[in-house]
Amino acid sequence: MCEDGFSIHLPPPSNPRVRAMSQFPFIQRQFKNDDHEIARIREAYQRRRQSLRRTYSFLNPSQVLAIQERDSELLFMLLRHGVDRLDTKTLLEVGCGTGYWIRAFLQWGALPENILGIDLLPERIEQARKLCPHGVRLQCGNAASRELPDASLDMVLQSTVFSSILDARMKHRAADEMLRVLKPGGFALWYDFFMNNPRNPDVRGVRKREIRELFPGSEIHFRRITLAPPIARRVGRYSPLLYTLLSRTKILCTHYMGLIRKR
């Protein structure tokens, strides 16, 4: 059981092909300078937990439409940049939550023993362990920690993590860590708001200029995606076709899907 941001050591996998994954030491501490920001993020999530469950429920039609659009866009971007199979790829998800993206990658062909997920919130890690298959390695931790080997991963994914980090130094450390653990030519996969939410002061949109500053020297490709949630919630329940048409205009979209290649 995870408590206070610590994680239990899991036995290493027996498969020699993924021996490098078994060497990942679990994150056992957090940078003191990040403590205040981490506490703020945890408190913000706890405060909004019930509303988040309703908003991101698979029984919410607009959420289903957004997920279908997001998943297909990511797969097409990977294909366009030469990724035609996932069973040979190692993946870290930063801020994995209950493991939706992890399970999606498994459906797309990734292997459980090649996937590592970290999240600040122990209750979400516990839920992810219930939902994800054996072999996926899950731990409580901080994206800005430096506990993984250099150049050890093919892909690192973050989904709406950076918009939740308001402290600029912690944001830069998290981005530095994502690049550090990537192999040359590996991809950081990005999905996040670029617009602020006036109803939620706990998040802040991340625009292209800031993303380029966070990942200097990288090759970055962006796509605008995801219909603005207030519009999506009204349209999605009545007309999937209208949702799709409005989303394709891009002017009403609020997120970037990004592929960031480490040079």
| All structural domains of the chain with their residue ranges | 28-261
Residue 132 DSSP code: S
**Is the distance from CB of 205 to CB of 196 less than 8 angstroms?**
yes
pLDDT for the residue numbered 146: 61
Distances from the Cα of 136 to the Cα of 77, 93, 115, 170, 192, angstroms = 24, 11, 5, 26, 24
Q: Residue 41: which of 100, 3, 97, 2 has the closest Cα?
A: 97
pLDDT for the residue numbered 38: 84
Pick the CATH number of 28-261 from 2.60.40.1250, 3.40.50.150, 3.40.50.300, 3.40.50.1860: 3.40.50.150
Buried b (16+ CB within 10 A) or exposed e, 185-211: ebbbbbbbbbeebeeeeebbbbeeebb
Residue ranges of the chain with per-residue pLDDT less than 50: 1-31
pLDDT for the residue numbered 9: 34
d(CA 243, CA 228): 10
- Average pLDDT score, the chain: 85
Q: Could you count the other beta carbons within 10 Å of the beta carbon of residue 100?
A: 18
pTM of the entire structure? 0.83
**Is the distance from CB of 145 to CB of 35 less than 8 angstroms?**
no
Instruction: Classify the phi-psi angles of 251: left when phi > 0, otherwise alpha if psi is within -120 to 50, otherwise beta.
Output: alpha
pLDDT for the residue numbered 40: 85
